[in-house]
Chains A and B, each alone.
Chain A
Amino acid sequence: MNLDPLLLEILACPCERHEPVRPDEQRQALVCTYCSTAFPVRDDIPVMLLDEAEPGPNGIGQQG
């Protein structure tokens, strides 16, 4: 994944906590540091939409 550092600095999870996301190269996704919801990165474009995301183990916005 080739993401602009400026962008990575600002991107946050749309869950209620709005925690930062970190890149996961293996999954080609950005993952919320709080709820582990994964947002796909397609052609280096992060898709930060909940209806396209894979929820974390305890659900969106739940620590996990």
Chain B
Amino acid sequence: MLRVDRDLDAVIKAYDVRGTYPDQIDEQLATAVGAAFVQVVGATTVAVGYDMRPSSPALAAAFAAGVTGQGADVVDVGLVSTDALYFASGSLGVPGAMFTASHNPARYNGIKLCRVGAAPVGRDTGLAEIRALVGDGVPDVDVPAGTVTRREILPAYAAYLRGLVDIAGIRPLTVVVDAGNGMAGHTVPFVLQYPAATLPLTVVPLYFELDGSFPNHEANPIEPENLRDLQRAVRDAGADLGLAFDGDADRCFVVDEAGAAVSPSIITALIAARELAREPGATVIHNLITSRTVPEVIAEHGGTAVRTRVGHSFIKQVMAETGAVFGGEHSGHFYFRDFWRADSGMLAALHVLAALGGSPAGTPLTALLAPYERYQASGEVNSEVADVAASTAAVEAAYAGRPGVSADHLDGLTVAADDWWFNLRPSNTEPLLRLNVEARDVATMEHVRDAVLALVRREAT
């Protein structure tokens, strides 16, 4: 029996396993999770991939030993991005496990699990059972051990993505890619550079060397300071655009030719318009803190916009229920029906390259995106509060009943008027309220933002 004596609640989270190596997550835990995963999902074969962190290969091998000990086989896909692991799960028709701690610092590692076809595994879809099995001890089974087979999937991954978005015929573009020493340094060459000279792209690589100690900057492009090197490099190179990926290369952020960061909401609107041109009348999902531009653009292109709570499990679930073709989040996650409803920053990047490369010669990215620049956003503003419910109630009381103002509780509190809206939602893990405000102009946005923050923070003291 495999038993692990440690604090499992600290590492087995809502959507993944995450913690510091080796004190919270080690090989013994990985083996136990591998064995429990086989039992919970009933797998006969599991695809296993890992990122460039120094601890990743050993943890993946230990997990594989847990899988084979239960009689199931392992397809070892080696160093991959998280979306390439989803591709392995979808194309090979097997459950999968990815060893990564995404953008977290080097001392962290973790496991993202999925069922056949990249279907999510979260607390309510198997992770709680895995946690219980690991805690109680995973029973041994009397079966012959499974085998481990090494398989290279990145060429097929690249071929699949380029089949979904064809960039062979675009006008020549220069793109700076900041991989942040994460997995994009390994996957971008397959998708954008091989076979050599067949694509009309000049790729200027920044930090492509795989290095889990992240020597240049944190691989988390949602933080503005992590985009500075890319912004400078785009301007210095006179490039058409820049792309930044996070550590496991599932999220992608875009920088325009002037070096300005493009909001993921704008990218969501751009991709929505492209997907609706390909599939008229389709449904597109957006979470409730993406820009109001997104549902407007979806409607203008004849699509149906569906609004969801924040979080990938909600997006994937609603995409399956509605048959949606695409979904986007403000956080740089982009989900595609044709990619097993999983998220792929690389596929989003291909859409941007195809859109810009398909525009008339000389069109800068800022001009291409200008029709989507309609609102001013505050970005996410966090406030530490003693009583999340009391602070939220104070805000709601202040706005309820005002003429022309509506409120809903899909996720936290959303209050909307003609020219502005805000959402105030609690963190799942900390005593924080997260505020997002958007308005027609900067002055209105700042006025609403400061008024709501004053209410939140007055209640907190």
Inter-chain contact A15/B160, CB cutoff 8 Å: no
Q: In the complex, how many residue pairs between chain A and chain B have their CB atoms under 8 Å apart?
A: 55
- Give the distance in Å from the alpha carbon of A16 to the alpha carbon of B45 in the complex: 8
CB within 8 A of A50: which of B117, B151, B155, B159? B117
- Contact, CB under 8 Å: B44 / A16: yes
Interface band, chain B? 20 to 34
Instruction: Pick the residue among B93, B156, B278 that contacts A15 (CB under 8 A).
Output: B93
Distance between B338 CB and nearest chain A CB, rounded to angstroms: 5
Question: Cβ of A4 < 8 Å from any Cβ of B?
Answer: yes
Distance between Cα atoms of A47 and B151 in the complex (Å): 22
Chain B residues with Cβ under 8 A from A16's Cβ? 44
Interface SS of A by simple majority: loop
Known A18-B44, A45-B338, A49-B340; contact A4-B160, beta-carbon cutoff 8 A: yes
A6-B93 in contact given A44-B163, A47-B338 (Cβ < 8 Å): no
Q: Is the CB of A18 within 8 A of B117?
A: no
With contact pairs A4-B159, A6-B155 given, residues A45 and B164 touching in the complex (Cβ less than 8 Å): yes
Q: Tell me whether A4 and B163 are in contact (CB under 8 A).
A: yes
* Chain B residues within 8 Å of A18, by CB: 44-45, 92-94
In which size bucket is the chain A interface?
20 to 34
In angstroms, Cα B337 to Cα A54, docked, is: 18
Q: Does B153 contact A (CB under 8 A)?
A: yes
The reply on B125 being an interface residue by CB < 8 A is no
Provide the bound-state CA to CA distance between A11 and B370, in Å: 40
Query: Given known contacts A6-B155, A16-B44, A18-B45, is B160 in contact with A48 (CB within 8 Å)?
Result: no
Q: Quick check: is A31 within 8 A (CB to CB) of the other chain?
A: no
B44 touches A48 (CB 8 A): no
Q: Are B93 and A12 in contact (CB under 8 A)?
A: yes
Within 8 A of A (CB), among B74-128: 90-94, 116-117
Chain A residues, CB < 8 A from B117: 14, 48-50
Beta-carbon contact of A10 and B91 below 8 Å: yes
Q: Which residues of A contact B (CB under 8 A)?
A: 3-4, 6-7, 9-18, 43-45, 47-51
